[in-house]
Structure 1
Amino acid sequence: MSRSTPFRSLALGAAVLLAATPALATDYVQAPGSTLAFATQYDGEVFSGHFGQFTTTLSFDPADPAAAKLDVVIPLASASTANADRDSTLQGGDFFATSKFPQARYVARGFRDLGDGRYAADGELTLRGTTRPVTLTFSFTDGAPALLEGKATVQRLDFNVGGGDWADLTLLPNPVAISTKVRLQPVE
Structure 2
Amino acid sequence: MSRPALARLSVPVSAAALLLAIAPASAADYVQAPGSTLAFATQYDGEVFSGHFGQFTTTLSFDPADPAAARLDVVIPLASATTANADRDSTLKGPDFFAVSKFPQARYTASGFRDLGDGRYAADGELSLRGVVHPATLTFTFTDGATAVLDGKATVQRLDFNVGGGDWADLSLLPNPVAISTKVRLQPVD
CA distance in 2, matches of 1:51, 1:185: 20
CA distance in 2, matches of 1:15, 1:187: 26
Instruction: Using structure 1 for the length normalisation, give the TM-score.
Output: 0.92
Residue type at the aligned position of 1:106: Y
CA distance in 2, matches of 1:109, 1:23: 17
Aligned length: 186
Name the structure 1 match of 2:58.
Answer: 56
Residue type at the aligned position of 1:134: A
CA offset at residue 22 of structure 1? 1.7
- SS of equivalent to 2:108: strand
Runs of 5+ consecutive residues of structure 1 not aligned to the other structure: none
CA offset at residue 117 of structure 1? 1.1
Moved more, 160-169 or 11-20: 11-20
Residue type at the aligned position of 2:104: P
Name the structure 1 match of 2:86.
Answer: 84
Residues 130-149 of structure 1 mapped to structure 2, 5 A cutoff: 130-149=132-151
Name the structure 2 match of 1:166.
Answer: 168
Same amino acid, percent of matched pairs? 83
- SS of equivalent to 1:41: strand
Runs of 5+ consecutive residues of structure 2 not aligned to the other structure: none
CA distance in 1, matches of 2:106, 2:61: 20
CA distance in 2, matches of 1:186, 1:40: 33
Residue type at the aligned position of 1:130: V
CA distance in 2, matches of 1:15, 1:112: 30
Instruction: Using structure 2 for the length normalisation, give the TM-score.
Output: 0.91
CA offset at residue 144 of structure 1? 1.9
Q: Deviations over 1:167-186 (max 9, x none)?
A: 01000000000000000000
- SS of equivalent to 2:64: coil
